[in-house]
Structure 1
Amino acid sequence: MRLRRRTAVAALATMALLAAPTATAHALAGPAPAAATSAATVELPRPTGPYPVGTEVLHLTDHDRTDPWVPEAGDRELMVSLYYPARSGRPSATAPYMSTEEARLMLAARELDGIVPADVVSSTSTHAHTGARAARGHFPLVLLSPGFGTPRATLTSLAEDLASRGYVVASVDHAYESTGTAFPGGRILTCAACDEAEAAPDEAAAREVLRTVSTGRAADLSFVLDRLTGPRPAWQHSRMIDRHRVAAAGHSIGGSAAASTMLADPRVDAGINMDGTFFEPLPATGLDGRPFLMLGTEAGHHPGSDDKSWDEVWQGLDGWKRWLTVKDSGHFTFTDTPALGEQLGLPTDPTAPLSGDRSTRITRDYVSAFLDQHLRGRHQPLLDGPTAGNPEVVFNRP
């Protein structure tokens, strides 16, 4: 799906969708660089924690809910990638990044299908091993939701790194909310919800669609939590999860969904929004004192920016909170995109020149610091204020 309309409705949808073609406009301005079509291998940044990383994919079906976007499809379906701390030993195969068809659809949506071969993206080297033995112990759980129209694979680097640091991560693809997600039976489900948002007759209707995405994802994440920690868990390693230490985090509308999940589910102890508009307002009770991190771009989410939802939510947060913005960043800074784009030889967007290395390090370090402080009770000086080692990170105190 490509965003072509230039109406207020399209502008609203763009805040939550792929930020494309805006995010890739500079890459498309000139001829495609040779590196973008001839790269032999692309690799995710290596995890930084002490644990090897294991991974497993679950297909979950919520028989109590009908899919909101394609009701005739029946019950709500999810694809979940679990990343977990593993034991050392003979390494097994690493997991695929995504299928070639998923990569093709994602590239087409970003108007990169004529520049980057799908098989180059799909064969990106990861660091999580299938069939790895789970580490001994109990570990906090992080529920991770991607941006609207964006596959869960684009948060793989963050998920792998958190698992290497001692977290179990459940990264979720929500049916009919990505450019293309592979489901059992050879099915590739595309973004019916994106089409509905674009077809909205006015801004209010578009916002209502996106609010439905946010609250629907909250129900999805709560269901995943049920299936991972309930009496009949769907995952063979569920006993390693500490169900009393749970966070929800997400990019773009996945960040809005993290807040929505906290509103709906008291089992979620902390939340993170990475550069997403909030589509559900906070009640007068806020989040009942639970901590929340807002981590975004300086251009789009500084205090008083055009997106007023951050100002409004900030005022309503009643527990520990931080509002951090990153200089020279773009909407996809908090995903795998910058690191992979550099390896593919794509030109840097001059409006977001932060390098792939700094994008990865800042995202990993601040997300893990927040989780360490609030799920493990380990004070993190990194969150107390600006540091010389991270001059790009601005602490906003509106």
Structure 2
Amino acid sequence: MRKSIIGGLLAAALLTCTAATPAAADPELGLPRPTGPRPVGVTTLQLVDSSRTDPWVPASGARRLMVSLWYPASAAGGTRAAYMTPQESALLLKGEGITTVAPDTLSRTRTDAYTDATPTRGRHPLVVLSPGFSLPRSSLTSLGEDLASRGYAVAAVDHTYENFGETFPDGHTTTCVVCEADQTPALARKLAAGRAADVSFVLDRLTGPHPVWKGGVSSSRIGMAGHSLGGDSTAVTMAADRRVRAGIDMDGTINTPVTRLSRPFLLMGTAAGHTPSSKDATWNDAWRHLTGWRRWITVAGTQHSSFTDLHPLADELGLAFGADISGTRAVQITRAYVGAFFDRHLRHRTEPLLDGPSPAYPEVTFWN
């Protein structure tokens, strides 16, 4: 397994998977159904930050981002959203060395969101999601859909040239330019700083005087969660942008030291990699500088990408994922604790799940 400064383990997707049994010639994949009471809508946004030149490919001009925005819909119906494009599927599978399924397999994954469905009225609390290094924003779809079904607007950001494949509305697909660079601490810090700038720009466009989405976002109730490098970037974003009121790092090495963060923060990781005695000392260092509400939990039986869609999709494809719990269970746990965290800190609801061990989730250990 390759080690990486960026995101802890670069096995950020299917890298550790091997074919356990021959995969079906035409598998029918589907994400776990959302648990909230509301149907889910989704819209896709292309946002252009004309104030910045792209940091990785300056010749491409202004920084361009693709964003999936999930939200509670007034009714179910219409066209189910695509999970990803065939080009994105082919590039992700190629990047992770998976050759046992058709290149477009992941693009045929069933989602539970309806494209451009009418949103419910009101101003919704907003959660921004940042994926792991080399992964697309779609890898956090099951979490985004679940939060939306519970009343949140959820913006998942593709950080251009930092993932295996990202398709734009004009049909062109970018690739992971940064994957070719030497993965050093300096590069990790540059990536996280760039992602913080991406997120702040997205917040400007969603909450400014002329928001790009008319569904309604509460500018005073904003949170952020990220997987791997996205978790590292969450801490960096919170240090730079006080609009983000609460944040979660899902198994991400913290490459940029946290100096002082007084807003709520949740560290949620694997038992193998992120206990206080693990080799990754960055969480120990960060913990001392989290001066507000804080929790540190680990989930037994998981591996690095169990906090994403890649675990349940690998199970459905018959691929060994290197985890001791199922992908469905990993999604269930992730949704429960992420949802409870944002309900507590963006909606001010009582959430006993965050106060200590729960018999419903014996895999979860509290370290605070």
Confirm or deny a common fold (TM above 0.5). yes
> CA, structure 1 residues 105+248, in 2 after alignment: closer, same or farther (shift >3 Å)?
same
Say if 2:188 is the partner of 1:210: yes
Q: Which runs of 5+ in 1 are unaligned?
A: 199-205
Say if 2:70 is the partner of 1:99: no
**Mapping for residues 249-264 of structure 1, pairs under 5 Å:** 249-264=225-240
**Mapping for residues 241-390 of structure 1, pairs under 5 Å:** 241-283=217-259, 286-287=260-261, 289-349=262-322, 352-390=323-361
Moved over 2 A (4+): 10-24, 37-40
Does structure 2 conserve the Cα–Cα contact (< 8 Å) formed by 1:294 and 1:324?
yes
Alignment-mate amino acid for residue 181 of structure 2: E
Over aligned residues, Cα RMSD in angstroms? 1.6
Alignment-mate amino acid for residue 30 of structure 2: E
**Mapping for residues 145-160 of structure 1, pairs under 5 Å:** 145-160=130-145
Does structure 1 conserve the Cα–Cα contact (< 8 Å) formed by 2:7 and 2:253?
no
2:120 is aligned, of 135, 153, 167, to 135
Identity %: 50
> CA, structure 1 residues 192+136, in 2 after alignment: closer, same or farther (shift >3 Å)?
same
Alignment-mate amino acid for residue 130 of structure 2: S
> CA, structure 1 residues 382+21, in 2 after alignment: closer, same or farther (shift >3 Å)?
closer
Which of the two has greater helix per residue?
A: 1
> CA, structure 1 residues 134+332, in 2 after alignment: closer, same or farther (shift >3 Å)?
same
Alignment-mate amino acid for residue 145 of structure 1: S
Alignment-mate amino acid for residue 51 of structure 1: R
Say if 2:6 is the partner of 1:33: no
Does structure 2 conserve the Cα–Cα contact (< 8 Å) formed by 1:17 and 1:194?
no
Say if 2:362 is the partner of 1:391: yes
> CA, structure 1 residues 62+303, in 2 after alignment: closer, same or farther (shift >3 Å)?
same
The residue matched to 1:185 in structure 2 has which SS? coil
> CA, structure 1 residues 241+218, in 2 after alignment: closer, same or farther (shift >3 Å)?
same
Does structure 2 conserve the Cα–Cα contact (< 8 Å) formed by 1:18 and 1:147?
no
> CA, structure 1 residues 37+338, in 2 after alignment: closer, same or farther (shift >3 Å)?
same
Q: Residue 146 of structure 2 corresponds to which residue in structure 1?
A: 161
Say if 2:8 is the partner of 1:15: yes
The residue matched to 1:194 in structure 2 has which SS? helix
1:59 is aligned, of 33, 46, 54, to 46
Does structure 2 conserve the Cα–Cα contact (< 8 Å) formed by 1:18 and 1:148?
no
The residue matched to 1:278 in structure 2 has which SS? coil
Q: Residue 208 of structure 2 corresponds to which residue in structure 1?
A: 230
Does structure 2 conserve the Cα–Cα contact (< 8 Å) formed by 1:14 and 1:20?
no
The offset of 1:236, in angstroms, is 3.0
CA–CA distance in structure 1, aligned partners of residues 7 and 231 of structure 2: 15
The residue matched to 1:293 in structure 2 has which SS? strand
TM-score (norm 2): 0.96
The offset of 1:334, in angstroms, is 0.3
The offset of 1:22, in angstroms, is 5.4
> CA, structure 1 residues 171+364, in 2 after alignment: closer, same or farther (shift >3 Å)?
same
**Mapping for residues 79-90 of structure 1, pairs under 5 Å:** 79-88=66-75
Alignment-mate amino acid for residue 163 of structure 1: A
CA–CA distance in structure 2, aligned partners of residues 13 and 280 of structure 1: 11
Q: Residue 173 of structure 1 corresponds to which residue in structure 2?
A: 158
Does structure 2 conserve the Cα–Cα contact (< 8 Å) formed by 1:37 and 1:117?
no
CA–CA distance in structure 1, aligned partners of residues 199 and 122 of structure 2: 23
2:100 is aligned, of 93, 102, 115, to 115
Say if 2:169 is the partner of 1:184: yes
Alignment-mate amino acid for residue 134 of structure 1: P
The offset of 1:16, in angstroms, is 5.6
CA–CA distance in structure 1, aligned partners of residues 263 and 12 of structure 2: 30
> CA, structure 1 residues 388+14, in 2 after alignment: closer, same or farther (shift >3 Å)?
closer
**Mapping for residues 43-54 of structure 1, pairs under 5 Å:** 43-54=30-41
The residue matched to 1:156 in structure 2 has which SS? helix
State the aligned residue count: 368
